[in-house]
Structure 1
Amino acid sequence: MAKAKGAIVVDTEKCKGCGVCVSTCPTQVINLAADVNGKGYHYAYMGNPDACIGCANCGVICPDTCITVYRAKPVKA
């Protein structure tokens, strides 16, 4: 069975860098950026995008709802 492919989009200006999504991600996809947003926070981003399975744990747990999760259906060979 093919592994699901996912992706996230983070609203970097809304993200306060709490890191809850980083610890919730089962595949260690999310990291906090070295750069800061307009509010001075280190925002979340996809550090390892190839490992994302689209589980949506990050989007559900984000207290500021700044993560949108996308999931593509696996293509059958």
Structure 2
Amino acid sequence: MSRVEFLDERCKGCLLCTTVCPKQIIRQSDRFNQHGYKVAEVAAEDMEKCTGCTSCALICPDIAIRVFKTKKAKGAQDG
């Protein structure tokens, strides 16, 4: 399963990542980091919807997002 991880202490809460997520699963959390910013998150129940596209990580100006992609089985086709 692909998943996304947010580095809370790097996140400034700009929410650019929310604008590019094709599944619209990224949201602003209720948590604050030590700098006083509300950080982005993906709810646990939505994480399975992550496709590992990396759009969120690519647009993040603070390099606060890590994407872990599920490797496809050899010979598997997109469907």
TM-score range, shorter chain: 0.7 to 0.9
Post-superposition Cα deviations, 1:1-52, rounded to whole Å, max 9, x if no partner, equal xxxx411111101100000001110001211111211111110111221110
Q: Which residue of 2 aligns with 1:18?
A: 14
Q: List gaps (5 residues or longer) in structure 2.
A: none
How is 1:1-77 mapped onto 2 (pairs within 5 angstroms)? 5-47=1-43, 48-75=46-73
Could you list the structure 1 runs, at least 4 aligned residues long, displaced by more than 3 angstroms after superposition. Answer: none
Instruction: Name the SS of the counterpart of 1:34 in structure 2.
Output: strand
Aligned residues: 72
Structure 1: stretches of 5+ with no match in the other structure: none
Computed over aligned residues only, the root mean square deviation of the Cα atoms, in angstroms, reads 1.3
- Equivalent pairs: percent with the same residue? 35
Question: Matched residues in 1 for 2:72 and 2:65: separation?
Answer: 22
